[in-house]
Chain A
Amino acid sequence: MFSYLLKFQTKRVGRYFKNNKAAKSITIILFALVFLSIAFGVYKFFNFGAATIDSNSYLYFRNALVLYVFEVFFLLVYFLLLISSAITALFSLFDEKTSTIIASSSFQKNTVWSLIVTELSSLWIFLFVLVPAVIGVLPKKNIFLSGVISLLQILTAVTAIILTSYIMIFIISHILHLFKARVSKKKLAFILVGIFSIIFVAIAYQIKSFDIATVLEPGNLALTSAPVSQVAKGFVYFPSTISALGMYSERLGSVVPALEVLGILIFTDAVLFLLFKLSSKNYLIFWQEVSEGNELKEPSRKKLRLSFLLKTKTGALFYKEMIETFRNQRNAMWLFFLLILWISNIGLSIVLKNNLQSGNYILPNLPGLVLAIQAVILSYFIAALVLRFAFIAFSSEKKTSWILGSAPIKYSEALISKFIFYTCCFGLVGLITGVINNYIFGGISGHFMLVLVSSVISAIVLTAYGMSLGAFFPNFQTDDPQQTSNTLPGLALIFGSILYGFIEAFFLYNFAKGNIGIYLLLVFFLLVGFLAFYLLWLSGKSLDKRDFAEEED
């Protein structure tokens, strides 16, 4: 079965290169160059940071600080990966489209295939960003060996997380089955949300209660080195500490402990895979229960509401977007995931503010820095929302394209309606984030209106950018965000958004420092606004020209 599925994927690549070979090859080479430059940029950024810490020999607490950064970094990244892979696993394991594989005698292989797909789609973006970052902080001595070990560590850790997400789903299914409760996607999603919420509270509590300033004891002049073990002890209950300690060992040039960590991770993967195989034994029963549940459940009924929207074409399209976004179970899970990201951002902002206030730090660059950091974080957050919802707005219309295609409207009108809908949603998110950030940092940044305006403009620009890319390159193969983010346009969206965030941060920082005036800032916002709308207009024209049906009978 695997050879058949692999052959199918290989043929898909072949089909992609069937037409316009030269243009497609050039596009891929260009993207490869862009990714390599980004990987190089990430490497240089982290390398510079590490070199700066190393060059300040008077920083007696630098080792403890580095471990702390590793601990927090891996804890958050792994937690987010666990949630996203659980969502993908849940919907890929119980997808109705898998019925052909389930009907075959090798149905159990679907679990392994689903695992492989989730692993591959999660992994390579990590390799692209994580590996250069990790290599950047490693010492130059034995860099090749350290690089290989760190690469293997990331591979094995990511595998362990993905296996965990599958095991969680199977164990919950077993428990439901044990208590004679029918397994359903809704119940699984509900329980997973509960578990993730508890983990999230535990992580938030840990980060809040672990006072790094107390551990480092900056006031104790007698100290020559901060106690690293205390930092490690603070995170001992989180499995991510294994990766953090592994990276820490490699940074110190200690290959043996790093290899020990790698050994532990490989052993963990083996145990988890065994657990995965054992827990997936009743997969067919669970799949049948989910499937039967779909048949048995009382159909959802909705009375016609918001009929005031159903008066104009734009209103009707807006209405359609609204119900498709908010009535969808899978979207609700992704919204939960993004909500956790958002709350994490707010929580970290509060921690940062408290630290700044308790330390009475007087830094001339602080207002600018706070503005810049907020701009980058907000751009990333809005980009995540755009990628999940707005970017796939046309890709998800493949089967329903006949409705809009045969109606007396232009696709560009549908694009505008979608744009208005998503801009309203994300603009609101931007506005609320701006208000919250102002509430937290109000006294520090001191630019209330500017934060609000830049938040809303970011939402508009990134939505226009994401929708344009999605309209130029609709992907009719999938609307799974984890898969779409790995397509070339998806990656262009991610990197373009990050780039926008950094450019905006640059302008805000220099404005706060007094290096540039308000007019230049206005010119920047007007220019990006114009570019975004121009791109949207171009993509609308491209949509009106293209066929929205494929070759058929």
Chain B
Amino acid sequence: MKFLRAGARQVVGLFVGDWVQSAVVLVIVAAGWFAVSRFGPVALVVMVALLSGQLVWFARAEGRPSSSPR
């Protein structure tokens, strides 16, 4: 049972480090899904910009000097 739980944790952990960041990524992808059919390539550019932006944003939030190093 412990082994199965560790396996399940490992599988979830493959995709989710920070639940908020994962949720933001999913919202961006979902918004992209709706936008691509309406706005075409422009929506792709915006989606990639938002995905890159969230990478910088969450790294900055975690790397702020006030947050303790792990």
A binds B: no
Residues of A within 8 A of B (CB): none
